[in-house]
Amino acid sequence: MTTVQISRVIEMAWEDRTPFGAIEHSYGLSEDEVIKLMRQQLKPSSFRMWRKRVTGRATKHQIKRSFEVGRAYCKTQYKPR
């Protein structure tokens, strides 16, 4: 992966309403692979904070996510590269 792609995966992983399934669809990385990438790329304290934040979060897992949540639009998602 390029540094731009890695940066985008990290950004998507931090976003509350972006499920791991969307990352897998866009970049081919499973949830476990995203966790490994985050562990490699973030400082240990940042990784622990991220894991605490996403563990059990329904919006990060499409199966747990209800349809009432809807889709969120991130103004930086389609930013020029």
pLDDT average, residue stretch 9-15: 93
pTM of the model: 0.70
Higher pLDDT, 1 or 30: 30
pLDDT average, residue stretch 57-67: 61
Q: Return contacts of 1-5, CB within 8 angstroms, 24+ apart.
A: 1/27, 4/81
In this structure, the number of other CB atoms found within 10 A of the CB of residue 51 comes to 13
Q: What percent of the chain has pLDDT over 70?
A: 73
Average pLDDT of the residues of the chain = 82
